[in-house]
Structures are given as C-alpha cells and as structure tokens.
Structure 1
Amino acid sequence: MKKYTYILLIITVSVIAGCKKDYLSLQPTSTQNTENFYKTPVQFTQAINSAYAPLQGLYNGSFWALGEMRSDNTSYEFNPNDRSGTNKEEIDEFRDINTNDMVNAFLVSSYTGIGRCNVILDRLPAAKLNTAFTDTIAGQAYFLRAFNYFNIVRMFGRVPLVLKEVSSVSEAFKVATKADVEAVYTAIIADAQAAITNLPVQYTGDGNKGRVTKGTAQTMLAEVYMTQKKFDLAIPLLRSVISSNVYHLNANYADNFDMSKENGPESIFEIQYIEGPNGLGSDFIDTFVPWDVPDDSVTGWNIPHSAQNGWNIPTQDLLDAYEPGDKRKAASIDTSFTSDEYGVIMPFIKKYQSKAAVKGITGNNFPVYRYADVYLMLAECLNEQGFAGGGDSFKYLNLVRERAGLPDKSAGNTKPELNVASQEDFRAAVAHERQIELCFENHRWFDLLRSGKATAVMTAHGAREKAIKKDLWVINPAAYTNVKLLFPYPLSQGNLEH
C-alpha cells in the first residue's frame, strides 16, 4: 500500500485558486467538480493560478537548499542543541541519500505543478473560448511545465516524462518509467517555444503581476540552450529580450530585493508572496538567520534557536570572491553578527530581510530571472562563439559591473586584475560575475554543472570548509568526499517504476 501513497506525484488533485486584487494570487478557495469546471475564463484563470502555486512551496521550502547550499556560496551554522536539520546538512555536504525528505519534496512539488499544467492544456481546447485568452493561458501552462522539467532534469537526470492528464492509478504506473534526458530536453524546448509563441510581451493591470511573459520564456529557453552548449541558439533569444525594451537594470542593485519595489523594471520572473497569515507568505528571513541570534534585532521577532534557523549561511569562499568596492556585498550579506556560540562572525543573507507584522510570514518575493542575468548570459554566449577583445561580450559584462561600482574589464588592461586576455579568461570573468551578481538566487549550482566545473570547485571548496569548521564544530568525515552531480532519485518515487 505504501507505494500507492506516492501516486500523488503524478496524479493531479486540482486546486482552484482565486485572484487577489493587486497581483497574481495563489490562494486556494474550493474544490469543484471536474465535469463542470474548466469551462469559463474565470475557471481557467483560477486553474492557471493553481499551477503557479507549487512554486511558492518549492522556493520557500527546498529550492534554496538544492540550488544554493549545494554550491560553494552557502552552508549552514551547526546547531548542537537541535539536530533535526541533518537533512539539509547532508545536501550541503554531498551526504544526501535517497530517503532525504527535502529532495523528495522538491520532486513531488515539481510534478504537482506539471500535473496541473497537463490538465489545463488537455482541457483548454474543448472550452472553445476567445483565442487571445486561451493562447495566454496555454502559454503560461507551457512555460510552467517546461520550467519544472528543466529544474528536475538538471537535478535528477532521467525522470518520468508526463505530458498528458493522468486520471487513474493504472495510468500513473504506466507513465512512471523514467525517460532519457534527451527526451526530457526535447519536451522542454517544445514547451518553451510554444510559450514564446503564445505569451504576451507585457500584461496590463495589476491583477497580472507575477505572470510569465514572452521575455520570461525566451530567457528560460536561452538557459536551456546554454545548458546544452547550443550558444548560437541562445543568442537571438537573449537579444530579443533586450530589444523588447521592456526591461532595464535598476540603478540601485538593492532595489531588486526591496519589498516595496517588487516586480520592478529588472524583474523577468519572480515568485510571488504576500505578507500575512494567509498561507501565501515567505519565511526566508527566519530560515536564513543564524540560529543563535539572541534577540529580535534581525527578524523583528525572537527566533526559536532551533533547526528552523541557521541555513544558507554565506561561506568564506563567497565573501572572499567580492572585489573591493563592490556595492553588491552590503546589499547581499550582513556581517554584523558575532556568534555567541562560536565566537566568530556569522554572516547571513540580507537580500530577503524585510521584517513582517506577523512572525515568519513576510512578503519577500524570490527572483528567478532578472535582466542582469540576461546581460551575463549573452556575454557568455558571445564569448563562446569566439573571443573578441573589443566585442559586445565585454559591453554586457561591464554594464553589470558598472552598476556594482566596479571598473570595466577589458583585453589588454594595464591592471592585471582587470585584464581579460583570452576566451578562457572571459569564461572565468563571467562566472565570477554571475556568482556575485546572482548569489542566493539559486543559480550557482546550476552554473557549476553547466560549466563542467562542479566537481573541481566543490572538492576544493569542501577542503577549505573542513579546515575552517574543524575548530568550530564536529564535521562529518564523509563531507564533500563524493561530489555527486545529480541528487539521488527518491526511493519512494522509484517504487512507482515497473
């Protein structure tokens, strides 16, 4: 009977979501009969909102562990008093096994979103609604399905490829067999292309804040092509995002993380949260604060000093990566707290530090794609097509650096730290810029995978982490000894396979 519990990974239980006044709402309201639902524009709007909803849980619950703590950007503060957070420590130190509940939760939530998209795409043609409306709904569903698959194929490799509504246990078992990675990517690309075709460049009205656009889909597809080393295919997509004139860099880097300035001009896609006791809030500030902060100085509330806190702590490797004068450091990391437990500075993430009226429930959104990312992606792609000392690749790299208050890098620069003399030098320069610009936004681990440098970088990082931590707390001797490029496929989900 146990394995039937996990059929929910694939069979979608439709959750109908209502629309808030100000922007995309993911609040479930009621369950309706599937025979009389999926008929009207209001119902399909509610259904597509429900397809966004699992992303809230993913970003609140486990994505930061799998996408950021897995990398050299962040780690954790050991809590000797509450050892219930070992699942996260295992992820950070490459000790995770196939029963890790955070890894399982990520996969299940991803397939929940995929299943909801499948239902929408299968039911939409029969509704015979206005073409402009159905195109927009379909475009969002195609994007969300592709986005979820893109995340899990990079994390797990071969995964079940489910592209149709599943309505019975027997059907679920039929589609539970893992597909080849190439087949998954073929489906991702087809969905992303369909999303680009169907999605608008922009929406009108506050009720559409947070919805994906043509630019969102183009950015994702460009990253897909870059992951496949098809840089030539990514370039026109990125140039199209730029030429749309919809986006621009915020003058102030910190504005990207200011709760009062969310969904701003640099935002291409961000996960929406609403402050308050409504089930739609984020808790990044509480999760990412050191567990031994003694008072309410950081969050506005006394923290429990438990395994709820002390995660995604910036590493010394990341702190050392900042150049002198980089404005992004002060906007990203707080280094003012000295741990009473360990007697050393315990840095913590500042990007999501908005205090809330209700404990643990803030309205901080989570950025997925920003315009600065597009500049850096294009700079990388252009360089991969051939190094050019005075080419556009330098222009886009330096636009990001200039906003950070840093001098331009160039070929033949008289200052060695600013001289980029070869294609390999430029690869290193753009990788460094991505690490700093996009830190704590779940890009670093994927960038290491994509570049083929994950094993080397994380092995060296692990040695440094062990040297630092051995005098602070007991570190597991198996930490970093096996740098796995894929997460173990959850045992409970593997039970579904034939």
Structure 2
Amino acid sequence: MKKHIIYIFMGVTLGSCTDFLTLQPEYLVNEISFYKNAKDFETALVGNYAGLQTLYDTDLIDLGDLTTDNAEIRWTSPTTAETEMDEMSPTAANSFLNTIWNTCFETIARSNNIISRLDAAGLTEAQKNQFRGESLFLRGLSYFYLVRLFGNIPIVDVAFRSPDEIADFDMTRRSTDDVYKLIINDLTESATLLNGITLSSKSQASTGAAKTLLGKVYLTTRQFDQAKTILKEVIDSKVYSLNSDYKKLFTNGNDELQESIFEIKYLSGNLGEGNRFSGQFTPARFDMAIFPNNMQGSGRILPTRPMADAYESGDLRRKASIGDSVRLVTGKYEKELYGLKFVDFTTGVQGDGGINFTVLRYADVLLMYAEALNETGNTTEALTYINLVRSRAGLTPLAGLSKADFALAMEKERRVEFFLEGHRWFDLVRTGRAQTVLNAYFKDAGLSFTVAEHELIMPIPLREININPNLGQNPGY
C-alpha cells in the first residue's frame, strides 16, 4: 500500500487539459515552475475534472445499474468483470472496482496538491476560495464513492513532497464514520467558499453542487433533518428548475440546462474525449442501421424486461429512456430493448459520443428532499415534491400514502427517473432494500444468483492487497 500510495500521491503529476470546457488533449508540466498564478491553478483543476470522464463513462454505470434489476448484458463474450457485475458476484480482481479505486484516489491526490499550494501562490482571496472550494468538492465526491463501495478506507487529506512523508503517514483504513466526517466537512466548506462565485460552466463545482451532494451524504448517513435543511436551501435558491422536456436531458445539446447542477463534458470528433454510452447501451447486432456507418452496439448494459415494464402507463420518461425495436439494414424493424439516454445517434464511431453526463440534477434534489420529509414524519408535504417530478413525466399526483407506502413509491420513482444514471445500486443499499429487491429479481428470473450481506460492500481491489497484505480485505471476500 505504501508503494502504491507513492505512485498515486506523488506520481500524479500535473496532467491536465488546456481547457476542459473545450476538452483539449492532456499535456504534462513541471511542478517546480507551476502553481504561480491563477492560470496555473485553473489548469491543474481542469486536469482534475478531466479524470472524472472515465469514471462516469463506464465504471459507475456498471456499478450503479448493471449490478441491479435495471440492466443486463446481452452479448456473447462479456468480460469477467462485466459478468461479475451482472450476476452481483464481485471479486477483488474486478477491473471496474480497481479503476474506481485508482481514479478516486488520483482525484483526491490532485485535490490535496492544489489545496496545499494555495497559500504560497500570488492569488487574491477570492481566487483562493474558488480553487479550494472546487478541490474540496472533488475530494468529497471521490471519498463519497469510495466509502459507499468499500467501507473502511485510508484517509489522505494532505499533499506529500517526499517518500519519507508518505512513510510516516498513517495509511491504515479508517472507519466509515471518520470518512463521512471528512466528506461532510469538505462539502460544507466547499459550499461556503463557492457561495457568490460565478463559474463559467456546470462542469465546475458550485455551491449548489456542494449542497446537493451534501444532501445525498446526509440521506446516506440517515441524518434526515440535516438533509432537509441543506436540500431546501438548494430549492429556495431558485437557481435550478426542472427541464420541461425530459428527453432533452439526455440527447445532443444537453449542455448547461436549467436542471443540471454538475455535469461531465464529452466531445465527439476529438479522439479520447467522447463517451462510450452509444455502444454500451445498444444491442450487439451487426445488422442494425441506427447509427451512421451502421455502427454496431455492444449489448453491455441493456434494460431488463422488468425495467421496461416498471413505468406506469403514460409515463413520458419511458419513450425517452428505452427503445423497443431497432431498424435493420434491410429497412425492417425487430423487437429489441435498448437504452436511449446519452446515446449519440450522430456518431458512427465507438467511444465517440458527444452527449454530456449529468452527475447531479434538480429532479434528484426534489426527490431527496421528499424522502427526507417522509423520513421525518412529513409525508403529506413530501407528496408535493415527488409530484413535481411525476407531473413533468405526465403522471397523476400521488395522494394519501402512509410513510411506508411513500417509501416504496419513492423507490419506484427514483428507478424510472434515474435509469442508466448510476443511482439504482446506491439507492437500494442506502434504504436497506438491496437484498430484498435484487434477490427477488434473480429468483423471478429463474437465476441462482443472490446478494449476500457481505456483498453490500465491495471487495478491496486485489492489486492493493498484493502490494500491502496488511491493508486487509473486507469480510466475506
């Protein structure tokens, strides 16, 4: 682990895009001559944001949807890692888990490095606040994924300048309570520092993004009163609102929409800056004619039949989220379930999708706030906020629900609202429903797979265990 930490926390050089908003190729710079002015820190932050492209492009959708009743693999040669996710039988060698671990800790290392350089640089107080606030958001976001997936993990909140500093630092795994304390502190400070600062893009952290993520953290840790307070602040700010056209959220030109709070930019036609959703979410058929050049999909993450049937009659989200048939090169159509969200039907090249991925959006704020209200005994008021989301979907309002019935209605609402956005696994674990829901799904499908208690936390990646056996493995693996 010590050797690996040296790699992550010192070997993460200042790789960055010259401008993440236009998604230029990465280049390397010399740290000795860097961190002198605001432009240097902007460049460093651009590199840190750029690291999130891969995280959301593949791995978190596999963890968030493929592990659940939402999605399944439908092609003949899945990788071992994909099969493990589809069957919810993760192992310590799973490549998705390894990538998430490394990407998150690299983001943390870059954030620590930026924060540690601020005081010595010739910056205004406003610039320091902005760069620190953005870095704290990225660090908090990374730790939030790590703690939910792996449980007890090392906490590194400083930047290192030498191997000796690393050797002297306590790299042992810390309790989830300690990790959540760090996350809450980071996001709370981030929201304060970024308050009143106007940023050029929603691909940058903002006070609204920090508060929204903090609300999700409070829900996860069952601090419902705190969740209510912070999420109501986002609502009352009136900065965000529901987009009237749900489909627009997931199609070409979805940049900077009124519902978007924090998004990941992708660019088609610029090698390495596109996303892979177009191939992942569409069937592995060579005879399709739904893309230019008749590009083939991969069938890696396709909707299950129960997912397709989960929408109520008349739900406008169904048509925007799931396709029922594909056009073939013969001109005929054949029945086939596939995903529509984030699929760029203008590209004919695998891995070149240009549709942005929205990490945080206002519909999530409304539903999280409704959940917090229900959990604190305010079910009648909670109905107002869930019905705002249902109204946009063209559905009739819910009424007269008990607290327990509301919780189940919310579970269903979040499933159809956030399909293929990486929420389902985390929602089910957070509410304590993962085993009940997923084991019933596997049983109904005639499958022998089950989700065991220990599988609610993923295994520590094998690479980490091999480097330092003292790191230890999570129980059951």
Contact 2:57 2:275 in 1 (8 A): yes
- What code does the residue aligned with 1:14 have? T
Q: Is 1:191 aligned with 2:183?
A: no
Which structure 1 residue ranges, 5 or more long, are not aligned?
412-419, 468-476
Instruction: List per-residue Cα deviations over 1:393-446 (Å, max 9, x = no partner).
Output: 1111111001000000101xxxxxxxx2x1101111111111111111111111
Instruction: Give the TM-score, by structure 2 length.
Output: 0.91
1:203 to 183, 198, 203: 198
1:349-388 aligned within 5 A: 349-357=339-347, 359-360=349-350, 361-388=352-379
User: 1:357 and 1:442, CA in 2 relative to 1: closer, same or farther beyond 3 A?
Assistant: closer
Write the distance in 1 (CA, Å) between the matches of 2:426 and 2:269.
Answer: 32
Q: Is 1:15 aligned with 2:14?
A: yes
1:480 to 437, 450, 456: 450
Write the distance in 1 (CA, Å) between the matches of 2:369 and 2:325.
Answer: 36
Tell me the equivalent position of 1:230.
Answer: 223
Write the distance in 1 (CA, Å) between the matches of 2:179 and 2:24.
Answer: 30
Tell me the equivalent position of 2:89.
Answer: 95
Q: CA deviation at 1:272?
A: 1.1
- What code does the residue aligned with 1:355 have? F
Write the distance in 1 (CA, Å) between the matches of 2:452 and 2:335.
Answer: 29
Q: CA deviation at 1:166?
A: 2.8
1:465 to 442, 445, 462: 445
Q: CA deviation at 1:495?
A: 3.3
1:306-345 aligned within 5 A: 309-337=298-326, 345=335
Contact 2:439 2:450 in 1 (8 A): yes
Q: CA deviation at 1:463?
A: 1.5
Tell me the equivalent position of 2:474.
Answer: none
- What code does the residue aligned with 1:299 have? F
Q: CA deviation at 1:60?
A: 1.3
Tell me the equivalent position of 1:404.
Answer: 393
Instruction: List per-residue Cα deviations over 1:187-206 (Å, max 9, x = no partner).
Output: 0011001100111456354x
Q: Is 1:494 aligned with 2:462?
A: no
Contact 1:332 1:351 in 2 (8 A): yes
User: 1:209 and 1:370, CA in 2 relative to 1: closer, same or farther beyond 3 A?
Assistant: closer
Contact 1:277 1:358 in 2 (8 A): no
Q: Is 1:259 aligned with 2:252?
A: yes
Tell me the equivalent position of 2:209.
Answer: 216
Q: Secondary structure at the match of 1:402?
A: helix
Contact 2:253 2:355 in 1 (8 A): no
Write the distance in 2 (CA, Å) between the matches of 1:88 and 1:28.
Answer: 29
Contact 2:14 2:31 in 1 (8 A): no
Write the distance in 1 (CA, Å) between the matches of 2:69 and 2:300.
Answer: 14
Instruction: List per-residue Cα deviations over 1:333-360 (Å, max 9, x = no partner).
Output: 11114999xx994311101122345612
Contact 2:291 2:347 in 1 (8 A): no
Q: Secondary structure at the match of 2:29?
A: coil
Q: Secondary structure at the match of 1:353?
A: coil
1:244-283 aligned within 5 A: 244-283=237-276
What is the number of residues matched between the two proteins?
A: 463
Q: CA deviation at 1:254?
A: 0.8
User: 1:495 and 1:6, CA in 2 relative to 1: closer, same or farther beyond 3 A?
Assistant: farther
User: 1:172 and 1:492, CA in 2 relative to 1: closer, same or farther beyond 3 A?
Assistant: farther
Contact 2:2 2:166 in 1 (8 A): no
Contact 1:150 1:188 in 2 (8 A): yes
- What code does the residue aligned with 1:191 have? D
Instruction: List per-residue Cα deviations over 1:259-303 (Å, max 9, x = no partner).
Output: 2132200001111111113321112111221112513x2332444
Supply the RMSD in Å over aligned alpha carbons: 2.4
User: 1:11 and 1:262, CA in 2 relative to 1: closer, same or farther beyond 3 A?
Assistant: same
- What code does the residue aligned with 1:46 have? T
Instruction: List per-residue Cα deviations over 1:363-402 (Å, max 9, x = no partner).
Output: 11111111011110111111111044xx321111111001
Tell me the equivalent position of 2:473.
Answer: none
Tell me the equivalent position of 1:43.
Answer: 40
Tell me the equivalent position of 1:445.
Answer: 425
Instruction: Give the TM-score, by structure 1 length.
Output: 0.88
Write the distance in 1 (CA, Å) between the matches of 2:44 and 2:128.
Answer: 12
